[in-house]
């Protein structure tokens, strides 16, 4: 790879230290601020590239075992600054929306954490390899206000009755600080497009009326296209932002195989999604 790659698996410490590295190399360029704090009080960093009007938002690691997406977005920020890329609007990057879940997935339930016993119970043991949710067992990408109550019925049929490693939508929409802060941020800023990174099978899901943008994204990455529908899309960020706010949004499932994807997949995945990360703002600007 051309630049230093973030330490992987990218836990919260590795994320913060890579952001420090970016700031040392490009003082003041990436405008790091904090979107908010997670359930367990971890900062959720947000980096901004460029200074145009309006912004696109890129979000990684809604799902804990998909933390390679944080590394991909951190690397993108370094790449964009190093190559002097310019964008027609600002690009706001939230590498890791779910720092508690990622910590749990990588390091297990930590001694002394008040939620430890509950987490072990929700998980049914101390192997957190397949953990996707946040610290209290809410799947953040089912927690947005899009088909939320329809999904609650499906959830009950699936036998999910409370906090779980995956697919529990939470008590009400945007109940979690992570999804709540993001939904607020998107609602009250001039957000013109959203890319959300996940890692389940080289597919791009898109919301209603976003076909043209989705086709261009598929062309740039070589990923397949599918319109978002069925249980996986209920309560998801892409559907919520598209349906409630009319913001063009795509869910980009990078890479193939079982999560967490191995570190060795990083270079190939980055090369596939790099053109989309660099050109998404331009695609949106052309459409306007």
Smallest separation, CB 198 to Zn ion (Å):
3
d(CA 72, CA 279): 16
Take residue 178 and report the two structure tokens written for it.
């992570």
Size of the site for Zn ion (CB under 5 A): 3
Smallest separation, CB 197 to Zn ion (Å):
8
Residues 137 and 122: beta-carbon distance below 8 Å: yes
**Own/partner pairs for 207-213, CB < 8 Å, 24+ apart?**
207/238, 207/239, 207/241, 207/242, 207/243, 207/248, 207/249, 208/242, 208/243, 209/242, 210/242, 210/248, 210/249, 210/250, 212/287, 213/248, 213/250, 213/283, 213/284, 213/287
d(CA 253, CA 228): 12
Closest residue by Cα to residue 62 from 38, 32, 79: 38
Closer residue to Zn ion in complex, CB, 55/66: 66
Closer residue to Zn ion in complex, CB, 63/67: 63
Closer residue to Zn ion in complex, CB, 177/260: 260
Which neighbouring-strand residues pair with 47? 93
Closer residue to Zn ion in complex, CB, 42/63: 63
* 142 scored as a contact of Zn ion (CB under 5 A): no
**Residue range at the interface with Zn ion (CB under 5 A); choices 14-22, 55-63, 76-84, 264-272:** 55-63
Closer residue to Zn ion in complex, CB, 78/197: 197
- In this chain, which residue has its C-beta nearest to Zn ion? 198
- What x-and-dash track marks residues 64-93 binding Zn ion by CB under 5 A? --x---------------------------
Closer residue to Zn ion in complex, CB, 89/194: 194
| Positions in 18-37 near Zn ion (CB under 5 A) | none
Q: Could you say which of 63, 67, 90, 136 contacts Zn ion (CB under 5 A)?
A: 63
- 28: region left, alpha or beta (phi > 0 left; psi from -120 to 50 alpha): left
Task: Classify strands 249-253 and 203-206 as parallel, antiparallel or unpaired.
Answer: antiparallel
Task: Classify strands 90-94 and 55-59 as parallel, antiparallel or unpaired.
Answer: parallel
| Positions in 144-203 near Zn ion (CB under 5 A) | 198
Smallest separation, CB 111 to Zn ion (Å):
28
Smallest separation, CB 254 to Zn ion (Å):
10
Binding site for Zn ion (CB under 5 A): 63, 66, 198
């Amino acid at each position: 790879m051309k630049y230093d790659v973030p330490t992987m698996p990218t836990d919260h410490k590795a994320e913060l230290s890579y952001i420090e590295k970016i700031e040392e190399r490009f003082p003041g360029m990436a405008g790091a601020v904090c979107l908010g704090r997670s359930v367990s009080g971890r900062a959720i960093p947000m980096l901004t590239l460029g200074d145009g009007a309006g912004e696109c938002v890129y979000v990684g690691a809604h799902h804990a075992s998909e933390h390679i997406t944080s590394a991909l977005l951190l690397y993108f920020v370094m790449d964009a600054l190093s190559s002097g890329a310019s964008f027609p609007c600002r690009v706001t990057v939230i590498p890791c929306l779910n720092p508690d879940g990622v910590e749990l997935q990588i390091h297990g339930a930590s001694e002394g954490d008040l939620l430890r016993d509950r987490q072990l119970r929700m998980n049914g043991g101390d192997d957190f390899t397949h953990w996707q949710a946040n610290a209290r067992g809410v799947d953040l990408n089912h927690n947005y206000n899009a088909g939320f109550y329809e999904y609650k019925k499906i959830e009950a049929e699936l036998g999910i009755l409370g906090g779980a490693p995956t697919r529990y939508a939470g008590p009400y929409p945007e109940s979690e600080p992570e999804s709540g802060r993001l939904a607020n941020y998107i609602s009250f800023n001039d957000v013109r497009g959203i890319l959300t990174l996940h890692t389940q099978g080289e597919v791009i899901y898109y919301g209603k009326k976003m076909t043209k943008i989705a086709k261009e994204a598929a062309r740039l990455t070589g990923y397949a296209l599918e319109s978002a529908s069925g249980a996986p899309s209920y309560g998801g960020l892409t559907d919520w932002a598209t349906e409630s706010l009319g913001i063009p949004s795509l869910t980009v499932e990078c890479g193939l195989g079982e999560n967490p994807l191995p570190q060795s997949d990083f270079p190939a995945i980055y090369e596939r999604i790099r053109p989309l990360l660099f050109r998404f703002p331009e695609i949106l600007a052309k459409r306007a």
